[in-house]
């Protein structure tokens, strides 16, 4: 044995690019950071335009992982962008997008909103920000529960590789996995890098170079996220990535149970009442939280004429996941009724409604005259 190099049992094993399969996707719809523009819109048409621009985005995101839309002119002008990260299935994209769409109305009547989730992103502004890739709000969130021991180099390499590859990949998305274990300690690294589709390749590259140098500062902590104006990156020692869509199991069959059948909006308009729109948004947010774990949810927000009642129900037989997908579709469709006093959406697997106190008063008068009127 003399003179030979001995490889001990603590040798570091690094196997690159092994992908772990998952039977079901994770929409990663936790909100990481929400920022609102402090400047307030002065035009009464701004909120109705916000609703319209988001309605457009909601339609486009159904068939794509990214969407942009522009509405209005002058003080009503609004630009919106939504992006799902590349490893989400179409269904998971819809669920994540719905959570993001439900989070941003708190910013109204601010002229801008921006929300990062672990699986998707939305930004709205009163100016064209589509080509911005950096800004004063670029930030990094480091985990602080576990640390890497000796596998720092493989972590750093996987992060650099993801940042290098995403700009030239389809969808500006890259994922990297570096499996590593030291003795009994698992020191694997999972990385995701994603640029918004409105950037050009060099601008995406620049964004991810900055993002990767930002998250390097999280090391040796084993979790880091970079939230930049034009891109998102994350690395972790736990596997947060969804199965590679090219390996099948992209969709999970919930789709047939979340088709829109009909949307009925009230005829009456409340477009000058900012508080009503805010309360409606809050009611949707409250219902959204409840529907994550239940097939039924109600919410009451606000007071007097601006009071909003919301209700959602998934039909029996839907799995939790199917219900999540159906309520995601409902949550992104119903707000399109604004600025009217409310509305209902009927889908194949669920039902959702939201109404102002005013609309309910009218309906009560109506159903008093029509015994058995369905309310």
Ligand X SMILES: *[C@@H]1O[C@H](CO)[C@@H](O)[C@H](O)[C@H]1NC(C)=O
Report, in Å, the least distance between residue 352 CB and ligand X. 29
Taking the complex as a whole, how short is the minimal distance between the CB of residue 133 and ligand X, in angstroms?
7
For ligand X, the closer of residues 186 and 320 by Cβ is 186
Q: Which is nearer to ligand X, 135 or 373 (CB)?
A: 135
The tokens of 69 are what? 């839309």
Nearest to 359 by CA among 348, 367, 351, 371: 367
Nearer to ligand X, 169 or 239 (CB): 239
Residues in the chain: 375
Q: Which residue has the tokens 């947010």?
A: 285
Q: Would you say 221 or 276 has its CB closer to ligand X?
A: 221
Q: How far is the CB of 227 from ligand X (least distance, A)?
A: 7
Q: Report the nearest approach of ligand X to the CB of residue 112 (Å).
A: 6
3-state helix, strand, coil in the chain (%, to 5): 35, 30, 35
At closest approach, how far in Å is the CB of 123 from ligand X?
A: 8
Closest distance to ligand X from the beta carbon of 264 (Å): 37
Residue (37 or 146) nearer to ligand X, CB: 37
328/326 Cα distance (integer angstroms):
5
Are 256 and 348 in contact by the 8 Å Cβ rule? The answer is: yes
Output the six-digit token pair for 13: 């094993």
Considering the complex, state which of residue 107 and residue 328 has its C-beta at the smaller distance from ligand X. 107
Cβ neighbours, 10 Å, residue 188:
22
Nearer to ligand X, 54 or 226 (CB): 226
CB atoms within 10 A of CB 245: 15
- Does the bond joining 293 to the residue before it have cis omega, within 30 degrees of 0? no
SS3 161: helix
Strands (E), the chain: 13-16, 31-36, 66-71, 78-84, 113-117, 120-125, 139-142, 173-182, 185-186, 189-195, 223-227, 231-236, 260-265, 296-301, 308-314, 342-347, 350-356
> Shortest distance, CB of residue 362 to ligand X, whole angstroms?
39
Among 221, 166, 231, residue whose Cα is nearest residue 198:
231
Burial of 368 (0-12, 13-18, 19+ CB in 10 A): exposed
CB nearer ligand X, residue 124 or residue 282: 124
Using CB under 6 A, list all residues that contact ligand X.
20, 33, 35, 37-38, 112, 131, 135-137, 139, 144, 179, 181, 186, 188, 200, 202-203, 238-239
Residue 105, classified by CB atoms within 10 Å of its CB into exposed (0-12), middle (13-18) or buried (19+), is: buried
In the complex, the smallest distance separating the C-beta of residue 44 from ligand X, rounded to whole angstroms, is 22
Least CB distance to ligand X at residue 84 (A):
20
Q: Output 10 or 298, the one with its CB closest to ligand X.
A: 10
């Amino acid at each position: 044995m003399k003179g030979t190099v001995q490889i001990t049992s603590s040798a570091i094993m690094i196997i690159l690019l092994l992908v772990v399969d998952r039977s079901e996707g994770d929409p990663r719809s936790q909100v990481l950071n929400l920022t609102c523009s402090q400047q307030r819109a002065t035009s009464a048409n701004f909120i109705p335009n916000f609703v319209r621009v988001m309605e457009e985005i909601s339609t486009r995101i159904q068939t794509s992982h990214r969407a942009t839309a522009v509405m209005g002119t002058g003080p009503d002008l609004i630009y919106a962008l939504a992006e799902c990260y590349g490893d989400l299935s179409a269904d998971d994209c819809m669920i994540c997008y719905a959570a993001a769409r439900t989070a941003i109305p708190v910013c109204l009547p601010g002229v801008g909103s921006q929300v990062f989730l672990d699986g998707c992103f939305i930004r709205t502004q009163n100016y064209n920000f589509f080509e911005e890739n950096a800004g004063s709000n670029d930030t990094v969130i480091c985990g602080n529960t576990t640390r890497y021991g000796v596998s720092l180099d493989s972590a750093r390499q996987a992060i650099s590789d993801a940042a290098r590859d995403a700009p030239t990949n389809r969808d500006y998305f890259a994922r990297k996995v570096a499996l590593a274990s030291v003795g009994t300690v698992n020191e694997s690294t999972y990385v995701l890098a994603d640029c918004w589709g409105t950037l050009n390749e060099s601008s995406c590259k620049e964004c991810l170079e900055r993002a990767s140098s930002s998250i390097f500062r999280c090391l040796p902590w084993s979790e880091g996220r970079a939230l930049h104006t034009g891109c998102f990156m994350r690395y972790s020692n736990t596997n947060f990535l969804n199965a590679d869509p090219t390996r099948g199991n992209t969709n999970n069959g919930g789709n047939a149970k979340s088709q829109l059948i009909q949307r009925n909006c009230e005829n009456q308009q409340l477009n000058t009442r900012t508080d009503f729109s805010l309360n409606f948004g809050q009611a949707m947010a409250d219902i959204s939280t409840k529907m994550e774990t239940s097939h039924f949810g109600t919410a009451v927000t606000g007071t007097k004429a601006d009071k909003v009642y919301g209700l959602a129900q998934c039909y029996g037989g839907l799995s939790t996941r199917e219900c999540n997908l159906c309520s995601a579709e409902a949550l992104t469709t119903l707000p399109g009724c604004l600025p009217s006093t409310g509305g209902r959406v009927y889908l194949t697997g669920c039902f959702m409604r939201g109404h102002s106190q005013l609309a309910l008063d009218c309906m009560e008068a109506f159903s008093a005259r029509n015994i058995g009127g369905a309310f």
